A and B are shown apart, each in its own frame.
Chain A
Amino acid sequence: MTRVFSNLALAIGAVFAFAAQAADQQVIKRGEYLARAADCMACHTAEGGAPYAGGLPIHSPFGTIYGTNITPDKQHGIGNYSDDEFFAALTEGKRKDGANLYPAMPYTSYHLIKREDADAIHAYLQSIAPINRAAPTTDLSFPFNVRTGLMGWNLLYGKSVQVQPAAGNSEAWQRGQYMVEVLGHCGECHTPRNLIGALEQDKRLSGGVLNGYLAPSLLAKDLAERGWTQPDLATFLKHGMSAQGSMFNEMYPVVHHSTQHLEDGDLSAMATYLLGDQPPAARVVQAVAHETMTASSQRGRQQYLNVCAGCHGADGEGKPHIAVAMKGNTILRQADSRNLVKVVLDGIREQQFTGFERMQPMPGFAGKLDDQQLTDMVNYLREAWGGLPGDLSTEQLAQLKVD
């Protein structure tokens, strides 16, 4: 009889252990998803490097900061962190040894992460392969290289991102707010920063400049002005492309590492939050007759035909899997021509999107066209398909080139 009981006890014990393991697995899975949503990989993985082993250089006006190794390696990673220590790093920018992390780590947004979500991310990171490799040392100029100097900064700005009250908004909106403002930390690029690198909260999500490119405004009225609808925005996040064009520059790794892996419900929640429960109507651009364009735009048409139309089409229709359409493209619709000018000068690397979707490299035209030709071309693009006046001057263009 005793033997029967002890066997039973063993069996029950095994069931519990199995259940606990399954629960752990579930937490880890959830943590993996949340780490995607928080896009930890984009900064903590070098190009071509081991996942989460750090090493990606993040260029800031103060110097270069390197993403750290967050694999569970005990020497170079975060293998010795407890859940509490991990939470402090995530939400307060505190290292295990008490030193301050640089706010390239977006704890200014993450400080609102739910504790159970932080624990799940930690559980996931502890489950991946440890990589015994040190990330390069961050190299900032004085006084930014003194980490204690961040104490004051943190007091002022450490918790700068605040969410709006949920009241009166749908559940999708609330979920979207958490995904966008906290996990996705979109505001870290799409909000302007002041001289000491802190987010200007009164200009929240109204657009920021990052390494010469504009992370455009995500305010509902501005998104609608540039042609965005909620379904298109969700598609853009899922596939990196939509009728409004394709992701490039700093957004390209975002779709790659993060948003394409998110559930459709979360993506449409993000779109709901950004455009609001009652989204403004997306503006439709009316075709403009060539004769009514500015002289600059009229000249610009020939520049467009000379160097763009081969891929983007004479009528801006684009070519599937080669180059996006100009008709309806959101970059042309940004009142500030910064991105349009930069992209024409720099080009875009070949890009892979979801499924078999690809876009071919776009050549850069720096040094190929003079300032007048570039200005004319940009004006044509603005006026023909951007719904904007073709009024950029060569002086403004020259300024954008060096910015």
Chain B
Amino acid sequence: MADRKLQLTLNGQPVVTEVVPDDLAMLDYLHEYQNLTGSRLGCGQGICHACVVIVDNPDGTCEEVRTCITGAHYFEGKKVRTIEGHAQLDDAGNPVALSPIQQKFVERFAFQCSYCAPGFVNAATVLVENAQRKPLKKSELEGAIEASLGHHVCRCTGYVRYYEATRDVLGDLGLVKEG
């Protein structure tokens, strides 16, 4: 085992950690080194997607990545957003406004225990932001939601409401075109 330095951008802030074990999982890095405990460990084996974060790609697109099965050093030089990076905060660091997806998930009572919610928020945000670059056709809408959220597991079975809320946000933001 060896240690190495890790540099990345985390929720908009450049971060450097001098000593990170080479085989540390990203989820453990977030929890133990950054005190960002919002990303959840569910299955720990790449199935439930409770642990996903958002990676912003250089080409302007973004994607979700599972942090339980991906090493921290995979994120070297990458721009990463976690669930802590969505809401607007005041100077004291308290949330003052939720993101559109977060807000709609609350209004729609999408989650109950909320264990899966960080993963769903990140996945739905990726869908919305990618639709902002390339709006969806109405005929693609359901398939796109399924492709984004379908592999996320919610043991409180909030699926229908998650889907409804996501559909609402896409519609409200004018990201669904006729066709």
Contact = CB atoms under 8 A, between A and B. Distances in A.
Interface in B73-104: 73-74
Interface string B144-173: 000000000000000000000000000000
B46 interface: yes
Given A319-B45, A322-B45, A360-B47, A314 B70 contact: no
A363 interface: yes
B25 interface: yes
Contacts of A360: 45-47
Interface string A283-314: 00000000000000000011001110111001
B71 interface: yes
A368 to B, nearest CB: 9
**Chain A CB within 10 Å, residue with most, of B4, B25, B70:** B70
Contacts of A309: 23, 71
A302 B45 contact: no
Given A360-B45, A360-B47, A310 B70 contact: yes
Interface string A130-174: 000000000000000000000000000000000000000000000
Nearest to A303: B74
Nearest to B65: A368
Query: Chain B: interface secondary structure?
Result: loop
Contacts of B22: 301-302, 305
B56 to A, nearest CB: 15
A141 B45 CA distance: 45
A310 B68 contact: yes
A54 to B, nearest CB: 29
Interface string B55-76: 0000000000000111101100
Contacts of B23: 305, 309, 314
Q: Could you say which interface size class chain B belongs to?
A: 10 to 19
Q: Could you say which interface size class chain A belongs to?
A: 10 to 19
B137 to A, nearest CB: 24
Contacts of A314: 1, 23
A305 B71 CA distance: 6
B70 A306 contact: yes
Contact of B45 (A301, A307, A311): A311
A311 B23 CA distance: 12
B123 to A, nearest CB: 15
B71 A310 contact: yes
A307 B71 contact: yes
Given A305-B23, A305-B71, A360-B45, 12 more contacts: A301-B22, A302-B4, A307-B69, A309-B23, A309-B71, A310-B46, A310-B68, A310-B69, A310-B71, A311-B46, A319-B45, A361-B46
28 contacts: A301-B22, A302-B22, A305-B23, A305-B71, A305-B73, A306-B70, A306-B73, A306-B74, A307-B69, A307-B71, A309-B23, A309-B71, A310-B25, A310-B45, A310-B46, A310-B68, A310-B69, A310-B71, A311-B45, A311-B46, A311-B69, A314-B1, A314-B23, A319-B45, A322-B45, A360-B45, A361-B46, A363-B46
Interface of B: 1, 4, 22-23, 25, 45-47, 68-71, 73-74
Interface of A: 301-302, 305-307, 309-311, 314, 319, 322, 360-361, 363
Instruction: In the A-B complex, list the 3 residue pairs whose CB atoms are closest, starting with the nearest.
Output: A310-B69, A306-B74, A306-B71
